[in-house]
């Protein structure tokens, strides 16, 4: 990963591919489905509803709330306040704001409706495409994973926090499908956007670290 992020060509290609896939998916949904649900969206929603039970509902709802705006903002605010703000808080906040600047306008451009409220386990308003929770959680917890692996000196703490980041980055996106507030293509687009943002931010950080080491 380090070699890739230090090569501008690789970074550009990965980011271009990620954002290109998001744009392609958006175009397909507009042109072929008029931003309505695809057969895959409907099948995934039906499957998620079929596996629900009271225990899973509680667990998955708790997981999905880890991607709520208040959770992400609180995490970034705490890390900005701490003395290690330059290592964690500032990069994380800038990355989160970059993701927000991409997905928020898209929601108001495409105006895609969410699945019917009868499927919702948690309350969620606004438009559906792309998934903001997916985008934000992968950016924040994915980048935090990188920063922890980069800066944390305590191996035990590093491994524990890394595991938490991987857990949340991987499970929050599908949790949005389980709780019934997003279509599968909403989440997929969020993954594409987040991967592009994380790749670019890590590449920028690697260049900064390399420059600082040479001073």
pLDDT at residue 215, as a whole number: 60
pLDDT digits (tens, 9 = 90+) for 159-201: 999 999 999 999 999 999 999 999 999 999 999 999 999 999 9
pLDDT bucket at 7, cuts 50 / 70 / 90? low
pLDDT digits (tens, 9 = 90+) for 27-38: 999 999 999 999
pLDDT bucket at 211, cuts 50 / 70 / 90? confident
Number of independent structural domains in the chain: 1
3-state secondary structure (DSSP) of residue 35 = coil
Give the structural domain span for 210: 2-214
Please compute the mean of the pLDDT values over residues 137-156 and round it to a whole number. 95
CATH number at residue 135: 1.20.144
pLDDT at residue 50, as a whole number: 97
If phi > 0 it is left, if psi is from -120 to 50 it is alpha, else beta; for residue 115 that is beta
Please compute the mean of the pLDDT values over residues 44-56 and round it to a whole number. 97
pLDDT at residue 77, as a whole number: 95
pLDDT digits (tens, 9 = 90+) for 90-101: 999 999 999 999
pLDDT at residue 13, as a whole number: 85
pLDDT at residue 124, as a whole number: 93
In a 10 Å sphere around its CB, with 0-12 CB exposed, 13-18 middle and 19+ buried, how is residue 9 labelled? exposed
Please compute the mean of the pLDDT values over residues 129-152 and round it to a whole number. 96
pLDDT at residue 19, as a whole number: 95
To 10 degrees, what angle do helices 184-214 and 132-151 make?
30
- Decide if pLDDT at 8 tops 70: no
pLDDT at residue 206, as a whole number: 86
Residues 6+ apart with CB under 8 A from 52: 121, 178
What is the overall mean pLDDT for the chain?
Answer: 93
The pTM score is: 0.93
């Amino acid at each position: 990963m380090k070699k890739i992020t230090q090569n501008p060509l690789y970074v550009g290609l990965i980011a271009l591919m990620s954002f290109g896939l998001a744009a392609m998916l958006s175009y397909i949904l507009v042109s072929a489905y008029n931003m309505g649900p695809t057969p895959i969206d409907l099948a995934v929603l039906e499957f998620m509803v079929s596996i629900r039970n009271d225990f899973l509902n509680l667990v998955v709802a708790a997981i999905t709330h880890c991607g709520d705006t208040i959770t992400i903002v609180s995490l970034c605010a705490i890390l900005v306040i701490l003395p290690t703000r330059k290592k964690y808080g500032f990069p994380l906040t800038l990355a989160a704001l970059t993701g927000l600047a991409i997905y928020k306008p898209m929601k108001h451009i495409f105006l895609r409706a969410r699945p019917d409220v009868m499927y919702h386990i948690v309350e969620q308003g606004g438009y559906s495409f792309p998934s903001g929770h997916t985008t934000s959680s992968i950016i924040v917890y994915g980048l935090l994973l990188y920063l922890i692996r980069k800066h944390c000196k305590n191996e035990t703490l590093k491994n524990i926090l890394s595991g938490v980041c991987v857990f949340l980055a991987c499970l929050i996106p599908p949790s949005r499908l389980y709780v019934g507030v997003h279509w599968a293509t909403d989440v997929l687009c969020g993954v594409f956007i987040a991967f592009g943002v994380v790749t670019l931010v890590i590449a920028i950080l690697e260049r900064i670290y390399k420059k600082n080491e040479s001073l």
